Amino acid sequence: MSHPSRRDLLRAAPLLALPAVARAAQQPAPPTDHPTYPGMIVRMEQPRNLEFPLSTLSDWKVPTDRFFVRSHFAMPKVDLTGYKLTVEGHVENPLSLTLDELKKLPSVTRPLLLECAGNGRVFLVPQARGLQWGLGAVGTAEWTGVPLGAILERAKVKTGAAEVVLVGADTGAIAADPATPGTIHFDRSLPLEKAKRDEVILAHAMNGEPLTPSHGAPLRAVVGGWYGMASVKWLTRVVVLDRPHAGYFQTMDYSYWERKNGLPEVRMITAIQPKASIARPTTHEAVPAGKPYRVFGVAWTGEAKVAKVEVSGDGGKAWSAAKLTGDDKPFCWRTWEFDWTPSARGLVNLLARCTDDKGATQPEKRDPDRRSYMINHLVPVEVMVR
Ligand SMILES: Nc1nc2c(c(=O)[nH]1)N[C@H]1C(S)=C(S)[C@@H](COP(=O)(O)O)O[C@H]1N2
Ligand SMILES: [Mo]
């Protein structure tokens, strides 16, 4: 940061003499966001939506300045001194907690993965509406905060409680069909059983630092095992309901079709599907023939564990097991590698496939009932062997 020179201070002197209100108006707006890695892929300028370039992955943890950003509405300005989290609705003991009070509660630090339900949308054929995410709307970070379950315990959830709605401070209106009913907050619910689980925390720190504005400062939910839309940022209200919530972001949006007795029904998107992504080589990278190349990637799944990752160097005819590396941390991705010695020269389709310990694996073909979400069908990385 540059310090003001004496000249700057002298020039500013007349301003300092102005009444406080006028002075505030003349000052530049405070920085609204943290600096990000220059290699971030900008998927939208306003609101800012940034993709992590997965090829730069070197460790299991993604540094905060490279962690993807997904925001539906303009970033809200949350006044930190007046900030309060309220816990209301179907509870015996409604709460209103300041940030200091929240930080004094017993906290946990744990790594958790976030994946946007639209990650990989750029690979859909035909092209789908929405942000055209490639491989990098996903990341694992270390989060510090209070388990949501502990807060619900303090609020004494009444019997008959069914769901917990998490409400963000951000607001906006979506005009595209289906439109929102005017201006709404971003909100999302969790069934009470999920809300009470250890992997659901209200985080005030990310990778050992206070949350940055774009990642939801001062407080956000992190819902391990579920797609990112459940991890509500800029959290201000927790509303306990005695019935299921049917908010915009779990009906009109972030939903899919499930066929029951041949009848399609709307379901809210919840658990992450298994997926393996190849970080290196990247698309159209030149790979030498006849020499081992270390293919490197990550694999993850939602409410299960990664059991195996397989790699195919011939477009999916033959598969070989990759080596899972690093620690097996719950609700995180697993790094993997594979020594690949390509023989045939020319364009080759390299594929990776994850299977979890519940037997779920990646489909070969895209299921259109998933609309433009939960994208985990096999997508090759085309490389040039020469
Ligand atoms: N309040 C609020 N919370 C939000 C969102 C949002 O737009 N507003 N986007 C959600 C979506 S869709 C995702 S994928 C994650 C992304 O979190 P990140 O920006 O920290 O990567 O935040 C979720 N929480
Ligand atoms: Mo998302």
Between 52 and 23, the more confident residue is: 52
Predicted TM-score (pTM) of the model is 0.92
Question: Per the structure block, which two tokens stand in for 108?
Answer: 């946990």
For residue 12, is pLDDT > 90? no
The pLDDT of residue 344: 86
* Max Cα–Cα distance, the chain, nearest Å: 77
Q: Does domain 6-268 have CATH number 3.90.420.10?
A: yes
The string of pLDDT tens digits covering residues 94-122 is 999 999 999 999 999 999 999 999 999 99
Q: Which atom of ligand 1 is nearest to the CA of 117?
A: 14
Tell me the CA distances in angstroms from 201 to 113, 143, 222, one per residue in order.
13, 8, 5
Q: Ligand 1: residues whose CB is within 6 Å?
A: 67-72, 114, 116, 168, 170, 186, 215, 228-229, 231-234
The pLDDT of residue 35: 86
306: DSSP letter: E
Question: Per the structure block, which two tokens stand in for 302?
Answer: 């939602």
So where are the chain's domains? Answer: 6-268, 275-385
**How far is ligand 2, taken at its centre, from the CA of residue 14, in Å?**
48
Report the distance separating Cα 170 and Cα 314, nearest Å. 47
The pLDDT of residue 32: 62
> Which range among 73-82, 104-113, 160-169 shows the weakest confidence by mean pLDDT?
73-82
In three-state secondary structure terms, 316 is: coil
Q: Which atom of ligand 1 is nearest to the CA of 68?
A: 21
Report the distance separating Cα 141 and Cα 158, nearest Å. 34
Q: Which of 155, 149, 137 is nearest to 50 (CA)?
A: 137
Choose which residue among 44, 52, 116 to substitute to test ligand 1 binding: the one with the highest number of ligand atoms within 8 A of its C-beta.
116
Nearest CA to ligand 1 atom 18: 69
For residue 335, is pLDDT > 80? yes
At position 186, the amino acid (one-letter code) is: F
The pLDDT of residue 177: 87
Report the distance separating Cα 184 and Cα 73, nearest Å. 10
> Which range among 3-17, 287-301, 340-354, 362-376 shows the weakest confidence by mean pLDDT?
3-17
For residue 15, is pLDDT > 50? no
Task: Determine the CATH number of domain 275-385.
Answer: 2.60.40.650
The string of pLDDT tens digits covering residues 181-193 is 999 999 999 999 9
Choose which residue among 36, 64, 71 to substitute to test ligand 1 binding: the one with the highest number of ligand atoms within 8 A of its C-beta.
71
Which phi and psi (to 5°) does residue 137 adopt?
A: -90, 55
How many residues in total does the chain contain?
386
**How far is ligand 2, taken at its centre, from the CA of residue 171, in Å?**
16
Nearest ligand (C-alpha, residue 212)? 1
* Residue 313: burial class (beta carbons within 10 Å; 0-12, 13-18, 19+): buried
Q: Which atom of ligand 1 is nearest to the CA of 69?
A: 19
Tell me the CA distances in angstroms from 121 to 172, 234, 283, 366, one per residue in order.
23, 26, 16, 11
Beta-carbon neighbours within 5 Å of ion ligand 2: 70, 116, 228-229
For residue 31, is pLDDT > 50? no
Mean pLDDT, residues 230-245: 98
Report the distance separating Cα 108 and Cα 366, nearest Å. 38
Nearest ligand (C-alpha, residue 69)? 1
The pLDDT of residue 380: 97
Nearest ligand (C-alpha, residue 174)? 1
Q: Which atom of ligand 1 is nearest to the CA of 234?
A: 1
Average pLDDT, the chain: 92
Question: Per the structure block, which two tokens stand in for 256?
Answer: 């899919």
For residue 14, is pLDDT > 50? no
For residue 30, is pLDDT > 50? no
- The answer to whether the 6-268 and 275-385 domains have the same CATH topology is no
* Angle (nearest 5°) at CA 322 between 318 and 327: 160
**How far is ligand 1, taken at its centre, from the CA of residue 69, in Å?**
7
Report the distance separating Cα 231 and Cα 221, nearest Å. 5
Mean pLDDT, residues 252-268: 96
At position 66, the amino acid (one-letter code) is: R
